[in-house]
Chain A
């Protein structure tokens, strides 16, 4: 069965650089969620999109922005990267109106 696809899987950046993470939801899933998981931490909700509109916002820094495109894929743009942004970034998707979220494999971002 098709799963959530995230790219890249690993990313290494320097401080103050920018990064773009991509997420391709499971076919027919119209809602996308982004989570950040620091080392030894639980996933923290960042932002979500439903039908290409932002539906909810969590603890996402102003340096980050995201959008969902017409094909439902989503991109998380991160600027002025800081050491503390080093984490595993998960994307999850869900069917219309459904609660269960299916997670992608994550992008491990390392900021040096």
Chain B
């Protein structure tokens, strides 16, 4: 069964700090790994990663995938209070599980002023 494990489960930092969120996974047929940010309600899409070693970047957020070691990291530099949210890592597997996302438990990030 596909599995996604995120760490840490929660993180408290101050504005300006840099954080690294981890996501490790087990899957039979890997297709892609996605990162979402969930604030009050719906998860909003951040990144999709399919190839090892290629960094995806958007402003202060960046992410990279290591398919050999089966993990991904999400980095946030110069954190702001608006970055406070739950960050979800999700696996999209191929084969008969085409399309569905298997989520990790999420990392609750709290950024204090």
Within 8 A of A (CB), among B77-113: 88, 92, 96-106
- B48 CB–A CB distance under 8 Å: yes
Q: A90-B42, A106-B42 are contacts. A99–B100 as well, Cβ < 8 Å?
A: no
Q: Which residues of B contact A43 (CB under 8 A)?
A: 43, 88, 101, 103
Q: How many A-B residue pairs have CB under 8 A?
A: 56
Q: Is B20 an interface residue (CB 8 A)?
A: no
Q: Given A100-B48, A103-B43, do A33 and B99 touch, yes or no (CB 8 Å)?
A: yes
- CB pair B42 A103 closer than 8 Å: yes
Please choose the segment from A11-19, A50-58, A65-73, A79-87 that sits at the chain B interface, where 4 or more of its residues have CB less than 8 A away: A50-58
Seen from chain B, the residues whose Cβ lies within 8 Å of a Cβ on chain A are 31-32, 34, 36, 41-45, 48, 88, 92, 96-106
Number of interface residues of A (CB under 8 A): 25
B99, A56: Cβ atoms closer than 8 Å:
yes
Q: Which residues of B contact A90 (CB under 8 A)?
A: 42-43
A sample of 8 cross-chain residue pairs with beta-carbon separation below 8 angstroms, ordered by A number, consists of: A4-B42, A41-B105, A56-B98, A56-B99, A58-B100, A99-B92, A100-B45, A104-B42
